[in-house]
């Protein structure tokens, strides 16, 4: 006789065979019991860990198609849930939206939900982004997504390299003009793009600099004679910026580049040629910079298209950059360099004199540079004549060989006529 009932493994009671189902584990159970559930054509005991109840769908789902959400304290279907930016919280978009999370559409957290403590609201895009992608503006006390919208693009903040404002031409009626770069490791510990420095009449802006840290860049200034109104105006600007110029967070990687120009229609190559011999005093004063990576090229100043890391570099638009100057340490030092550069320009461009006459004209400046130390003064003057011979004739004396080793040749290979 054919059986009409079977025993249910859960209730241990006999049930009509038409109510019986075979569970995934092989047991027989009553399909009408609350303890069993059909999922994707298979029957399971609800106590098994292979299926879970998904409240948001009001249905049971196989473990492969759902994930437990600790923050929601329930199971979530794979089609409905996602991890937040941190990868720690898994929930539905509805739950994230109601619980201090922001859906981010750009930056490092693009396409994810971001917890409010990690999110910054940006005024320029009117939405939140990850805190690492937002930029704070100290002037407005607000956050921005796009750095170009910061007031830090002005001349009061540190800008990205070569991104500070264009300089104003303050050179007026002066025949010569000069621009100065003052490199430091930091300005009173401040060295990051966007950091606030302050506004100075002297500077067009501040920039990051990979070679040292940061730099302050002046406007185009008049380069004029001692005691002139132009010099007085420039020196007042130096004094007013003394906290930047005198900043002592500086090391040997920092330089004090000076860029000059002449308004009497000379190209940078012509200027370099006219100034080449007289530049011997600059070489003598800053001779150790000739060994620096950033001014090691074209030391004889004869290349038509020299490398950018030349000691004295011809640039476009009639500009000649003196990269050989060492770091600026104080206002008085900068004033003396300014006067030295004026003498160099004036005697090279306007006067037809010997090197000795030129050197005599800068002697008071040199004496002040060395604060009356006659021994050091005599040494630098002696070395300047040897650099002059190199720049004029190509001969490298033993006393300056360490600075010009790549140009050194035995003395008997050079025919020289030394004249000073």
What residue ranges of the chain have pLDDT lower than 50? 1, 416-420
Residue 54 neighbours by CB under 8 Å, 6+ apart: 60, 61, 66, 74, 75, 76, 77, 80
Helix (H) or strand (E) holding 90: strand 90-92
4 beta partners = none
Query: What was the pLDDT predicted at 18?
Result: 65
Q: What is the pLDDT of residues 58-109, one digit of tens each?
A: 888 888 888 999 999 999 999 999 999 988 899 999 999 899 899 999 999 9
Chain centroid to Cα 195, Å, comes to 12
Query: What was the pLDDT predicted at 58?
Result: 84
Ramachandran angles phi, psi of 168, nearest 5°: -90, 145
Q: What is the spatial distance between Cα 300 and Cα 292, in angstroms, rounded to a whole number?
A: 15
Q: What is the pLDDT of residues 109-151, one digit of tens each?
A: 999 999 988 999 998 888 999 998 998 877 677 888 887 776 6
Claim: this prediction has a pTM higher than 0.85? no
Contact 207, 166 (CB under 8 A): no
Q: What is the spatial distance between Cα 182 and Cα 164, in angstroms, rounded to a whole number?
A: 14
Query: What was the pLDDT predicted at 29?
Result: 65
Helix (H) or strand (E) holding 42: strand 42-45
Residue 253 neighbours by CB under 8 Å, 6+ apart: 183, 185, 211, 212
Chain centroid to Cα 315, Å, comes to 23
Q: What is the spatial distance between Cα 203 and Cα 115, in angstroms, rounded to a whole number?
A: 42
Burial track 8-40 (b if 16+ CB lie within 10 A, e otherwise): bebeeeebeeeebbebeeeebbbeebeebbebe
Q: What is the spatial distance between Cα 406 and Cα 290, in angstroms, rounded to a whole number?
A: 11
Structure tokens at 187: 């300005």
Environment class of 107 (CB within 10 Å of its CB; exposed 0-12, middle 13-18, buried 19+): middle
Q: What angle do CA 266, 270, 276 make, to 5 degrees?
A: 130
Q: What is the spatial distance between Cα 23 and Cα 381, in angstroms, rounded to a whole number?
A: 103
Residue 242 neighbours by CB under 8 Å, 6+ apart: 331
């Amino acid at each position: 006789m054919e059986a009409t009932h079977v025993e249910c493994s859960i209730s241990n009671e006999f049930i009509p065979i038409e109510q019986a189902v075979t569970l995934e584990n092989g047991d027989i159970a009553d399909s009408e019991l609350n303890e069993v559930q059909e999922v994707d054509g298979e029957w399971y005991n609800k106590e098994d860990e292979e299926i879970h109840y998904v409240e948001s769908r009001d249905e049971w789902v196989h473990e492969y198609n759902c994930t437990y959400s600790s923050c929601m304290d329930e199971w979530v279907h794979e089609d409905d849930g996602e991890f937040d930016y941190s990868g720690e919280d898994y929930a539905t978009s509805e739950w994230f939206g109601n619980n201090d999370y922001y859906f981010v559409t750009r930056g490092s957290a693009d396409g994810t939900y971001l917890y409010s403590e990690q999110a910054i609201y940006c005024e320029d895009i009117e939405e939140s982004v990850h805190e690492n992608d937002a930029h704070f503006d100290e002037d407005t006390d607000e956050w921005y997504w796009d750095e170009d919208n910061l007031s830090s693009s002005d001349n009061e903040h540190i800008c990205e390299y070569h991104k500070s404002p264009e300089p104003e031409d303050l050179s007026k009626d002066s025949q010569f003009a000069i621009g100065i770069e003052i490199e430091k490791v930091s300005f009173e510990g401040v060295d990051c793009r966007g950091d606030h420095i302050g506004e100075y009449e002297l500077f067009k802006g501040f920039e990051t600099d990979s070679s040292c840290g940061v730099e302050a860049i002046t406007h185009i200034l008049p380069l004029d004679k001692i005691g002139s109104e132009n010099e007085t105006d420039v020196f007042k600007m130096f004094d007013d910026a003394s906290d930047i110029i005198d900043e002592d967070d500086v090391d040997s990687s920092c330089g004090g580049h000076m860029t000059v120009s002449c308004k009497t229609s000379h190209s940078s190559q012509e200027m370099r040629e006219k100034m080449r011999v007289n530049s011997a005093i600059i070489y003598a004063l800053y001779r150790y910079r000739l060994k620096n990576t950033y001014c090691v090229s074209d030391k004889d100043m004869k290349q038509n298209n020299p490398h950018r890391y030349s000691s004295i570099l011809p640039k476009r638009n009639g500009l000649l950059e003196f990269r050989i100057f060492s770091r600026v340490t104080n206002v008085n030092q900068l004033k003396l360099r300014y006067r030295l550069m004026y003498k160099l320009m004036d005697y090279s461009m306007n006067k037809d004199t010997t090197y000795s006459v030129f050197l005599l004209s800068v002697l008071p400046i040199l004496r002040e540079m060395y604060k009356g130390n006659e021994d050091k003064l005599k040494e630098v003057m002696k070395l300047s004549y040897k650099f002059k011979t190199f720049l004029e004739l190509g001969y490298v004396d033993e006393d300056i060989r360490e600075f010009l080793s790549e140009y050194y040749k035995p003395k008997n290979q050079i025919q020289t006529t030394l004249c000073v």
